[in-house]
Chains A and B, each alone.
Chain A
Amino acid sequence: MSSDRFDLGGGEPIITLRDIAKSYWREELEIPVLQGIDLEIPTGAYIALMGPSGSGKTTLLNLIAGIDRPTGGSLEVCEHELNDLDDDQLAAWRNAHVGFIFQNYNLVPVLNAFENVELPLLVSGAGRSERRDRVEQALTLVNLTDKMRNYPRQLSGGQEQRVAIARAIVTNPDLLVADEPTGALDAKNAEEVLGLIERLNTELGKTIVMVTHDPKAAHHAKHQIHLEKGVLDRTVEVNR
């Protein structure tokens, strides 16, 4: 189903982008990557961000997740004006509000599944037993409690990504960002991971922004939006 309105459903916005621009400079030459992005994403949304290679999807996702800064415009995410936060405040903000899921899982090879999931909790300063409870909860959710002591090299790609998902949700963030989360997986594992991400949205109410090339993956999201040469397409596809 397609709609002409730029509407991602009701509810309070958790992400508000106002006239966001991002450029790089190469030898005095400005290379615009994103221009005039206005976007409101309501709490509980599950958005697939699509577009051709080089259109700026990753750049936009990184801005929303607070690991990059815009060169123009402002953005409010999880009730914080990100432009107002300094680097350390932004780090603390990410720890509390954002979970990251990467294409290459990015688990720490010298830590086992349990320890990988525990990592973000070291920053939030949770006590030992609280950390253990939360790590076990997160691993239960991704159905990997039996692999807790396995190191990444002792896990399949699908299992690694599930550990990474557990790590992303262990701090109980409001927002999950995923950049091509199934890009490195075969069809069966991709389906499993997408099903899991979907459950995080429907059952736990996480707001999810997922960058993907894959139309099948995009179909798992509630809405699809498109970037084209750094500009947001006004068309929104509504899946459900």
Chain B
Amino acid sequence: MRWLALIWKSLMRSKRRTLLIVGSLVLSVFTVAVLQSLLTTLNAVTNNPNSSNRLVVRHKSGLTQMLPRSYEAYLRQQPEVATVCALQWFGGYYQDPRNFFANFASDETTIFQIFREEFGTSGISEAQIKDYQRDGAGCIVGESLAKKNGWKVGDVVPLTGTIFPINPRLTIRLIYKSPKPSDENVLHFHYKVLEEGVPRMKGLSGSFWLRTRRPEDIPRLIERVDRHYANSAYETLTETENAFNLAFVKMLGNIGAIIQGITAAVVVAILIVTGNTMATAIRERTTEIAVFRAMGFSAGRVLTLLLAEGVLLVGVGGFLGVLLANLAAGGVRASLGSAMPFFADFAILPNTVLACMVGALAIGVLATFIPAYSATRRPITEGLKAVG
């Protein structure tokens, strides 16, 4: 028999109790891991490392208001600006309205520079880009979107407009791969399709995306652009991409506070449950602990053994909880990934796994230490007299 066997057998003393406590740990760790990952995913939307050079210029009065495309010339003239791209949310669907994904009308020449990182431009050739740019009815799609719908290069994708009264038939000219899964659930087509098909969109665009040369230039540039168009017929609101996305996340309410509140409640509840269970389990072994000590186990050694039991218990529970959360994350990506782009990135990140495991172990140590310590402080003679 090894130490680990001794610890394991002690834990298996009451299988039902051990199973119950492991079960509640699995559930708690699962809940916390999923909620925390949701928060991480949402935060990532507003913390895109690719976007440090990117700005969005839109109408001051909201996203439904348009800006004249003539603004592009002024924006391009600014020395800090490397690229400008007109971009309009099209909001179409393919075959079924529930089959929703992000699709945009955008400037086919500058789009590849603006979203260089997202398109993984190193993986696509100049010739493929040219193919798309030459075909006015062409489109580009991300690989996971293409896979989901069984699309190949050359296929025709009929889009049904919901905001705009056109149903463009687009030929896939390029399928790109992104480092981040959420960026693959996107379709872009030529801006001209929108401008020429929808008379009221002639010469207008919902937003301009800029790439600046250096991140340091951004505050100065924002200030200058918005001042330039102040008091004009189309006033602008220029902001970083992260600030722009934050506006969307904020529409969901203060999710962060809710998630942290639930997490705290779960942690406190599981600490009480585990502490109470360990206290009962240790109390039942009062005589046994005294016998161990009479045989020559020091108080410290008995304490270590009991702590090891607690740690093993929560270790197993925590591990299974995290494992389950990972399986669930796969399900979330598959089911919600295309509907809400950021869910395509939903994953239990190593940091969350680590935090959950450390948290579970801390709970195990804390919950076990108090009853175990007082049990090993008790005089041996008293323990031998106790019934149990």
Q: Which residues does A use to contact B, with CB under 8 Å? A: 58-59, 62, 65, 67-68, 87-88, 91-96, 100, 102, 106, 108-111, 114-115, 118-120, 122-124, 167, 171
Pairwise interchain contact A111-B1, C-beta atoms closer than 8 A = yes
A sample of 12 more A-B contacts (CB under 8 A), given A67-B381, A91-B296, A171-B296, is A67-B293, A92-B298, A95-B297, A102-B291, A106-B288, A108-B291, A110-B10, A111-B1, A115-B5, A122-B3, A123-B297, A123-B301
Contact with A along B1-32 (1 / 0, CB 8 A): 10101100110110000000000000000000
- Complex CA gap A78/B170 in Å reads 96
Which listed residue, A59, A94, A111, A115, touches B295 by the CB 8 Å rule?
A94
Pairwise interchain contact B12-A110, C-beta atoms closer than 8 A = yes
Contact with A along B355-386 (1 / 0, CB 8 A): 00000000000000000000000011100100
Which listed residue, B3, B12, B298, B379, touches A91 by the CB 8 Å rule?
B298
Given known contacts A87-B299, A123-B297, A115 and B379 CB-to-CB distance under 8 angstroms = no
Pairwise interchain contact B296-A120, C-beta atoms closer than 8 A = yes
Q: Which residues does B use to contact A, with CB under 8 Å? A: 1, 3, 5-6, 9-10, 12-13, 287-288, 291-301, 379-381, 384
Smallest CB–CB gap between A10 and chain B, Å?
A: 30
Which listed residue, B13, B292, B299, touches A119 by the CB 8 Å rule?
B292
- Complex CA gap A119/B297 in Å reads 9
Most chain A CB neighbours (cut-off 10 Å) among B3, B379, B384: B384
What 6 A-B pairs are tightest by C-beta distance, nearest first?
A: A95-B296, A91-B298, A67-B380, A120-B295, A110-B9, A106-B291
Pairwise interchain contact A87-B291, C-beta atoms closer than 8 A = no
Q: Is the interface of A mostly helix, strand, loop or mixed?
A: helix
Smallest CB–CB gap between A204 and chain B, Å?
A: 19
- Complex CA gap A94/B294 in Å reads 7
Pairwise interchain contact A62-B381, C-beta atoms closer than 8 A = yes
Query: What residues of chain B lie closer than 8 Å to A171, measured between beta carbons?
Result: 296
Most chain B CB neighbours (cut-off 10 Å) among A58, A96, A110: A110
Query: What residues of chain A lie closer than 8 Å to B1, measured between beta carbons?
Result: 111, 114-115, 118, 122
Smallest CB–CB gap between A127 and chain B, Å?
A: 12
Smallest CB–CB gap between A169 and chain B, Å?
A: 12
- Complex CA gap A67/B291 in Å reads 10
Query: What residues of chain B lie closer than 8 Å to A93, measured between beta carbons?
Result: 296
Smallest CB–CB gap between A178 and chain B, Å?
A: 12
- Complex CA gap A102/B291 in Å reads 9
Query: What residues of chain A lie closer than 8 Å to B288, measured between beta carbons?
Result: 106, 108
Pairwise interchain contact B384-A102, C-beta atoms closer than 8 A = yes
Query: What residues of chain B lie closer than 8 Å to A106, measured between beta carbons?
Result: 287-288, 291, 384
- Complex CA gap A124/B294 in Å reads 13
Smallest CB–CB gap between B138 and chain A, Å?
A: 71
Query: What residues of chain B lie closer than 8 Å to A115, measured between beta carbons?
Result: 1, 5-6, 9
Pairwise interchain contact A68-B380, C-beta atoms closer than 8 A = yes
- Complex CA gap A82/B120 in Å reads 76
Pairwise interchain contact A122-B298, C-beta atoms closer than 8 A = no
Q: Can you spell out 21 A-B residue pairs with CB atoms less than 8 angstroms apart?
A: A58-B381, A59-B381, A62-B381, A67-B294, A67-B381, A87-B298, A87-B299, A91-B298, A91-B299, A94-B294, A94-B296, A95-B297, A100-B291, A102-B384, A106-B288, A108-B288, A109-B13, A115-B5, A115-B6, A115-B9, A123-B296
Smallest CB–CB gap between A132 and chain B, Å?
A: 10
